[in-house]
A and B are shown apart, each in its own frame.
Chain A
């Protein structure tokens, strides 16, 4: 019992919460960026532009099929060869963004494909350009359908930030390791606290997604 009280001292909890805030910071920035990049990539892949769509499709498939851990290594250890030397947090954001953009691109593409093809044709017949039809008719419906998939991707992203501990990003997992590194008796309390923090954030999001889904249905 004493272990638990000592482990949950305000100093330790504060340190874990600082880690959690970095986790959330990385997740939120990455999700916004990868939503933008992912949408563009997904639309480009869908629109069958000669060569470009194929090439982008291939890049998406390759990155999507690699472990995120490798992407983190490539960004942190590989990018500096091109003169770009990110710190740990920007490196984590960049790696998450690269990886998640590809995942989201696929969600967007299948979301667009799920919208009735007739709608695109009807809009074009009414004199809209491809971009207009996409922007005003297809995308709004596609995004509505994709909300659950997008939210669950966001939840995966939050969980996946824990992998960034390998390059000593000061996020929740890393801070947890520092805390239980102090004293062997802290290990279970720290695991419980870490699991709880991840759970609360992720579960809240999944409830929110269910609520939105319910409202829109």
Chain B
């Protein structure tokens, strides 16, 4: 197994890098997009609320693989040419943003409605009140689960293998089918994933215990 690791070191490391990059990018963008749609779900305008709602429900109930393949195979056909890594990261972003939107919305709802009203009566607009009063408090709910969200992202980023996204799983598949050491290769791949996911997940458990 050590032989397998050392002779394919470059492939594993570059796969590891792409996996990490894709997860970080997707986390960043899904946080922005997720918050945006969460706000849409609570604005006074009914049309915007429906848009927000539809977005969240649609992307929460369709497999990540379907979304990713759609971006890899269909979007380049009609809209713009994107490669596997980009398509995969966009898929991850959209999928995750729907879940983040749910968390942010729950955070917003948890803020006392009186605060919003008080802010409005002080002459703030809806957006000002949102920006300065409600959102800062809502994000207190959102930040802790982000660690778990990131762990999920790293795991889910393995769909990049379906679209030649050069990630860890993609490299693992290529190495496994060239060396015929299938199980050993995947054990190494698994260890690489655990290097990222286990520490974060243990840290999250630690945090939860401290907060509880």
Chain A: residues with CB nearer than 8 A to chain B? 61-62, 64-70, 73-74, 77-78, 81, 155, 159-160, 162-163, 165-166, 173, 187-188, 191, 194-195, 198-199, 202-203, 206
* B65 lies within 8 A of A202 (CB): no
A199 CB to closest chain B CB, in angstroms?
A: 5
* B151 lies within 8 A of A65 (CB): yes
* A191 lies within 8 A of B155 (CB): no
A200 CB to closest chain B CB, in angstroms?
A: 9
Separation of A51 and B156 alpha carbons in the complex (Å):
32
B31 within 8 A of A: no
In the complex, chain B residues whose CB is within 8 Å of the CB of A62: 194, 198
* A77 lies within 8 A of B183 (CB): yes
Which B residues from 160 to 211 make CB contacts under 8 A with A?
A: 161-162, 169, 182-183, 186, 189-190, 193-194, 197-198, 201-202
* B155 lies within 8 A of A73 (CB): no
* Dominant secondary structure at the B interface: helix
Q: Tell which of B157, B162, B186 touches A74, judged by Cβ atoms closer than 8 Å.
A: B186
Knowing that A195-B62, A203-B57 are A-B contacts, what are 18 other residue pairs whose CB atoms are under 8 Å apart, sorted by A's residue number?
Answer: A61-B201, A62-B194, A64-B201, A65-B194, A66-B190, A67-B157, A68-B155, A69-B169, A70-B169, A70-B189, A159-B64, A162-B65, A163-B65, A165-B65, A187-B77, A191-B74, A199-B62, A203-B61
* A198 lies within 8 A of B62 (CB): yes
> Looking across the interface, which residue of chain A has its beta carbon closest to that of B57?
A203
* A66 lies within 8 A of B194 (CB): yes
> Looking across the interface, which residue of chain B has its beta carbon closest to that of A110?
B208
In the complex, chain B residues whose CB is within 8 Å of the CB of A198: 61-63, 66
* B186 lies within 8 A of A73 (CB): yes
Separation of A19 and B74 alpha carbons in the complex (Å):
21
> Looking across the interface, which residue of chain A has its beta carbon closest to that of B158?
A67
Separation of A101 and B119 alpha carbons in the complex (Å):
47
For this complex, 6 residue pairs linking A to B, each with C-beta atoms less than 8 Å apart, are: A66-B155, A187-B73, A188-B74, A195-B66, A198-B62, A206-B61
In the complex, chain A residues whose CB is within 8 Å of the CB of B190: 66, 70
* A66 lies within 8 A of B201 (CB): no
> Looking across the interface, which residue of chain B has its beta carbon closest to that of A160?
B63
> Looking across the interface, which residue of chain A has its beta carbon closest to that of B156?
A67
Chain B: residues with CB nearer than 8 A to chain A? 57-58, 60-66, 69-70, 73-74, 77, 151, 155-159, 161-162, 169, 182-183, 186, 189-190, 193-194, 197-198, 201-202
* Dominant secondary structure at the A interface: helix
> Looking across the interface, which residue of chain A has its beta carbon closest to that of B67?
A195
A161 CB to closest chain B CB, in angstroms?
A: 8
* A159 lies within 8 A of B74 (CB): no
Given A62-B198, A64-B201, A70-B156 contact (CB < 8 Å): no
* B198 lies within 8 A of A67 (CB): no
Separation of A73 and B187 alpha carbons in the complex (Å):
10
Separation of A195 and B59 alpha carbons in the complex (Å):
10
In the complex, chain A residues whose CB is within 8 Å of the CB of B169: 67, 69-70
In the complex, chain B residues whose CB is within 8 Å of the CB of A162: 63-66
Separation of A69 and B173 alpha carbons in the complex (Å):
11
Separation of A197 and B189 alpha carbons in the complex (Å):
33
Separation of A61 and B73 alpha carbons in the complex (Å):
35
> Looking across the interface, which residue of chain A has its beta carbon closest to that of B154?
A67
A208 CB to closest chain B CB, in angstroms?
A: 13
In the complex, chain A residues whose CB is within 8 Å of the CB of B65: 162-163, 165, 173
